[in-house]
Amino acid sequence: MKPLRNLLTQKRDYYAGGLMTLIGVGAILEARHYNVGTLFHMGPGFFPIILGVVMSGLGVLIAGVAAVADAEDDDQMSYPKPEWFAWLCILAGPIFFIILGSYFGLLPATFACVFVSALGDRTSTLKGSLILATAVTVFGVGLFSYVLQVSLPMWRWG
């Protein structure tokens, strides 16, 4: 089990380092288009380029440390199996909120957001989620529409 674990952890750090280097290099490439200037008169591009260089270096360092050290020293991460359905539900909640909120108003947006994200938990039931969504909608719309007067209308068409 142990060598396998090491392999997994190390691979994770390679990805982690790679991602950081990618961000760093991306920042440098983008900031090149701004006026860089000199150390005396710094332009808008100077600071981003410094950060980009530092970031790329850190990425290499993360991957490098993982390659040298036996990856035991990292804090213990658990590797639960992917929860694709739950993730989808959680992300779909706010997306429903955006779409329904933009075209139909706060009431349907709230209901859909809570209902859809609630389905992500394995122990939740259809009935339970419906009740929860209704309760949050009544409470939330009351609070935000009446008390706090959020500019989003409760109901609208198109």
Partner 1 sequence: MVSSALTDLWYGFGIALEPHNVMWCFVGVLIGNIVGVLPGMGVLATISILLPLTFGMKPVGAILMLAGVFYGAQYGGAICSILLNLPCHPPHAVTCLDGYPMTKQGRGGVALGVTVIGSFIGASFGIMEMTFLAPILVQVALQFGPSEVCSLMLLGLLAGSTLARGSPIKGVAMTVFGLLLGIVGADIETGTPRFAFGITELDDGVEIVALALGLFGIAEFMNTVNQTAPIDTKYANVRLRDMWPSKKDFKEAFPAMIRGTFLGSLCALIPGTGPTIASFVSYAVEKKISKNPETFGHGNIRGVACPEASTHSSVQGDFIPTMSLGIPGDAVMALLLGALTIQGIVPGPQLISQHPDVFWGLIASFWIGNIMLVILNVPMIGIWVKLLTIPYRYLYPSAMFFICIGVYSTNNDMFQVGETVAIGIFGYILLQLGFHPAPILLGFVLGPRFEENFRRAMLISRGDLTVFLQRPISAFFVSMCVLLIVAQIFFRARGGKGPKVLVVPGAAE
The nearest distance, CB 151 to partner 1, in angstroms, is: 5
Looking at the Cβ atoms of 87 and 146, the one nearer to partner 1 is 87
Looking at the Cβ atoms of 2 and 41, the one nearer to partner 1 is 41
d(CA 26, CA 56): 9
Looking at the Cβ atoms of 15 and 146, the one nearer to partner 1 is 15
CA end-to-end span of the chain: 57
Looking at the Cβ atoms of 7 and 91, the one nearer to partner 1 is 91
What residues contact residue 111 under an 8 Å CB cut-off, 6+ apart? 133, 134, 137
The nearest distance, CB 3 to partner 1, in angstroms, is: 19
The nearest distance, CB 51 to partner 1, in angstroms, is: 5
